[in-house]
Amino acid sequence: EGGVSHVAQVSSPPAEAADRPGFDRLWHPRPVLCAVCTSRTRGFGWFDPHRLRPTRTQTRRWFCSMGCQAAFTRKAKKGLSMVDFTEEETQALPAVMRALAPEMERIGWDRPLGQLTQNDMHRLIVTTVEAFRAEMAEIASQSEIPF
């Protein structure tokens, strides 16, 4: 009877908190997009600390980077919504239009969207999203970080 024990130490599950009964889901939802630039999130989050825990899920936001998290936090502190176009998003629109112009020249300005091929639509969407992300990142890099 050797001194080796084959009993595993298994920690007991966390106790159920009174203000959040039931299973606590994972801390980071995987399929969520950045609340600022719509990139894939990478673990940076925000919630309204003034709300009670059960209602915080309605105010939780996830971000791809500290820059996007800081931009959202600045707006939240000012009480601004991320639903409407922000000043920065409005500033990004001309860059998006400049990026789309060559694609529209190639396709034809008078061609209805319903007649575009799947490849043409894909190129327009990718061009729009990438130009917007790049311009928002540039604008965020020029703004003051609040810490």
Q: Which residues contact 60 (CB under 8 A, 6 or more apart)?
A: 45, 46, 47
Q: What are phi and psi of 8, to 5 degrees?
A: -85, 140
Query: Do the Cβ atoms of 133 and 92 come closer than 8 Å?
Result: no
Q: Please identify every stretch of the chain with a pLDDT value under 50, giving residue numbers as ranges.
A: 1, 24, 147
pLDDT score for 59: 64
pLDDT score for 105: 93
Query: Do the Cβ atoms of 41 and 33 come closer than 8 Å?
Result: yes
Q: pTM here?
A: 0.45
Give per-residue pLDDT as tens, 90-131: 889 899 999 999 999 999 999 988 899 999 999 999 999 999
Rg (CA), the chain: 23
d(CA 69, CA 58): 17
pLDDT score for 117: 92
Taking the alpha carbons at both ends of the chain, their separation in whole angstroms is: 61
